[in-house]
């Protein structure tokens, strides 16, 4: 029999071609549709970047205005979905977001229309509505009324407005806008792979986004920003960082916010968040978080660079959300809100040259086992599931 070559975690396996994003993990380079992430982070807006990802080019002024109007018009969520949020309000915000997006499918006029045009329309609506769900949940679980979206504010500013009920400081809204840009798309990451897989079965975009949210929730993917702030709170002061990290690594635990499957140099997204974590900390009179993070990056974890382990996008993100007053369990939903455009772009891309995604598994269990009737089975002879 032919030797089967395994690819655990599909590491280094190219699944398909893409025009959505390019990553060179060796030098830390990231492009969306050919545009460098550094240019987009410094010069673009989330709205413009979403247009770029969904339509493959930068918009003209009038195209951007029309697209922005479409995003703003898509923000409302039906009262039935507010009810669903009320019913699930005690769950983790990621679970509420996943359930809310699933419920939105029941009220979206385009759910079953699987044309590319309709799917892009849904992608725009879901990008807008994800923010409304997360903010509405935060209000509801605090016993407050959800704040309706403001048509006068851009995407990031409107999210902060719906969360806190007052117009945000423009500088703070811009920091969140940059954060959304940095999270919008990223090759064949685990959640985008899930979205592509849904596309490959000819499922619909709501199902793909629900799948993406579920996959993103894990701490090895989107959950790291929350875990980093958790780590920071446990460490407390820079002086205790080294000993705390050693206690974790000696137990074989990984340090959250470090390492990446693709980047073996610094994640290019991190530098934009590092600088904003510093400036926001100073502005808020709380420089201690940045100081501790710097100690971790520049001193404690510096030896790991030789192994290709650098900070990733999540390392400084958590401190920014924290300084913006966002509860820690909403850090992952923020990542998800930013990633909806990337999931949509890849969902549509998968259809361009669709092949059902269906890898193989090498069977290593017993073969041709005799079926014993239940009354003749001896106790304790059942094979142990998961004991490979």
Residues near ligand ACO (CB under 6 A): 220-221, 224, 254-261, 307, 309, 312-314
Measure the CA–CA gap between 349 and 336, rounded to whole angstroms.
19
Asked if residue 143 lies in contact with residue 117, where contact means CB atoms within 8 angstroms, the answer is: no
Distance of closest approach, residue 267 Cβ to ligand ACO, in angstroms: 7
**CA–CA distances in Å: residue 58 to residues 121, 177, 181, 346:** 18, 17, 14, 18
**Minimum CB distance to ligand ACO smaller for 107 or for 220:** 220
User: Which ranges constitute the DSSP H helices of the chain?
Assistant: 37-43, 46-55, 61-73, 79-87, 93-104, 116-141, 155-164, 170-183, 190-200, 205-216, 224-235, 241-249, 270-283, 288-294, 314-323, 331-352
Distance of closest approach, residue 105 Cβ to ligand ACO, in angstroms: 26
Q: Which of 140, 138, 165 is nearest to 153 (CA)?
A: 165
- Give me the residues paired with residue 31 across strands: 22, 36
**Minimum CB distance to ligand ACO smaller for 224 or for 340:** 224
Measure the CA–CA gap between 326 and 328, rounded to whole angstroms.
6
Tokens of 215: 């996959």
Residue nearest to ligand ACO (CB): 259
Give residues with Cβ within 8 angstroms of 97, minimum separation 6. 130, 133, 134, 137, 213, 333, 336
Distance of closest approach, residue 317 Cβ to ligand ACO, in angstroms: 9
Distance of closest approach, residue 81 Cβ to ligand ACO, in angstroms: 27
Q: Strands 21-24, 35-36: parallel, antiparallel or unpaired by DSSP?
A: unpaired
**Minimum CB distance to ligand ACO smaller for 81 or for 94:** 94
**Minimum CB distance to ligand ACO smaller for 103 or for 182:** 182
**Minimum CB distance to ligand ACO smaller for 201 or for 247:** 247
Strand ordering across the sheet containing 35-36:
21-24, 29-32, 35-36
Residues taking part in catalysis: 221, 260, 314
């Amino acid at each position: 029999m032919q030797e089967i070559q395994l690819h655990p975690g599909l590491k280094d396996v190219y699944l398909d071609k893409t025009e959505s994003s390019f990553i060179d993990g060796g030098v830390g380079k990231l492009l969306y549709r050919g545009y460098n992430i550094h240019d987009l982070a410094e010069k673009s807006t989330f709205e413009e970047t979403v247009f770029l990802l969904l339509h493959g080019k930068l918009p003209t002024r009038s195209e951007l205005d029309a697209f922005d109007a479409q995003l703003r018009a898509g923000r409302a969520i039906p009262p039935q979905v507010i009810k669903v949020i009320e019913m699930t309000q005690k769950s983790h915000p990621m679970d509420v977001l996943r359930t809310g997006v699933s419920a939105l499918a029941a009220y979206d006029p385009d759910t079953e229309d699987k044309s590319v045009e309709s799917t892009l329309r849904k992608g725009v609506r879901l990008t807008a509505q994800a923010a409304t769900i997360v903010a509405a949940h935060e209000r509801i679980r605090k016993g407050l009324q959800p704040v309706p979206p403001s048509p006068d504010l851009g995407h990031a500013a409107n999210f902060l407005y719906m969360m806190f009920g007052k117009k945000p400081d423009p500088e703070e809204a811009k920091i969140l806008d940059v954060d959304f840009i940095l999270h919008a798309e990223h090759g064949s990451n685990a959640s985008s792979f899930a979205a592509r897989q849904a596309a490959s079965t000819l499922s619909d975009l709501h199902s793909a986004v629900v799948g993406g949210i579920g996959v993103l929730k894990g701490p090895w993917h989107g959950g790291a920003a929350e875990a980093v702030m958790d780590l920071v709170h446990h460490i407390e002061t820079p002086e205790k960082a080294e000993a705390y990290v050693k206690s974790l690594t000696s137990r074989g635990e990984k340090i959250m916010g470090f390492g990446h499957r693709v980047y073996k140099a610094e994640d290019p997204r991190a530098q934009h968040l590092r600088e904003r974590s510093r400036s926001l900390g100073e502005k808020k009179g709380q420089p201690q978080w940045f100081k501790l993070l710097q100690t971790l990056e520049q001193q404690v974890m510096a030896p790991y660079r030789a192994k290709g382990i650098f900070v990733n996008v999540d390392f400084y993100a958590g401190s920014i959300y924290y300084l913006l007053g966002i509860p820690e369990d909403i850090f992952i939903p923020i990542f998800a809100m930013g990633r909806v455009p990337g999931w949509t772009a890849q969902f549509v891309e998968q259809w361009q040259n669709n092949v059902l995604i269906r890898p193989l598994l090498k069977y290593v269990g017993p073969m041709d086992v005799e079926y014993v009737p239940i009354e003749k089975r001896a106790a304790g002879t059942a094979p142990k599931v998961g004991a490979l």
